[in-house]
Amino acid sequence: MIMTERQEEQKQARRKAMKLLERMDRTEKGLTERLEQAGFSGEAVKDALEYVKDFGYINDDRYAVNFITYRIHEKSRQKIFQELYSRGIGRDIAEAAWNTVCEIETPDEHQLLKRTVEKRCAAGSELDEKEMRRLYGFLSRRGFRAGEISSVLEEMEITFCKNYGNK
């Protein structure tokens, strides 16, 4: 009797895993979390993961390549890697996926940074200390380095004006 309950739970976990993978590709970590949230035991989760892996339905390498491919022209390399790490993709897999994608298309982070700045302020703008701090923080959180940010702001002639008193 206990064996059949365990088998039934494993069967349900497998079905749930397949259903989750129908809608979108997931990492091993992401699928594990969703199955655990659904209340399946560790043993059932492990069985379901092995089941979908055997069919090739879950593959972190493929996930990383697809993830990078769709974001390479929208986000910085650093931000993409950060998001991959949060999804349970290791550094080695992320690096290999990045190199694979870069063989096909080369990202232009300078242009990406410039487009991101243009969305926030016009070329030739003068920003006070608060606005400049906000802009740097915004860009830093998107994975751009301070040196790159300074270079693009200088190129776009966006300057810092010291505004004493009035604010």
Amino acid at 91: R
Q: At residue 41, what are phi and psi to the nearest 5 degrees?
A: -70, 160
- 87: how many CB neighbours lie within 10 A of its CB? 18
Q: In whole angstroms, how large is the CA radius of gyration of the chain?
A: 23
**Strands, E, within the chain: which ranges?**
126-127, 159-160
52-102 pLDDT, tens digit per residue, is 999 889 999 999 999 999 998 888 889 999 999 999 999 999 999 999 998
- pLDDT value at position 164? 56
Q: What is the pLDDT of residues 129-153, one digit of tens each?
A: 888 889 889 998 888 888 888 888 8
Tell me what the pLDDT averaged over the chain comes to: 88
- Tell whether the model's pLDDT for residue 36 goes beyond 50: yes
pTM of the model: 0.72
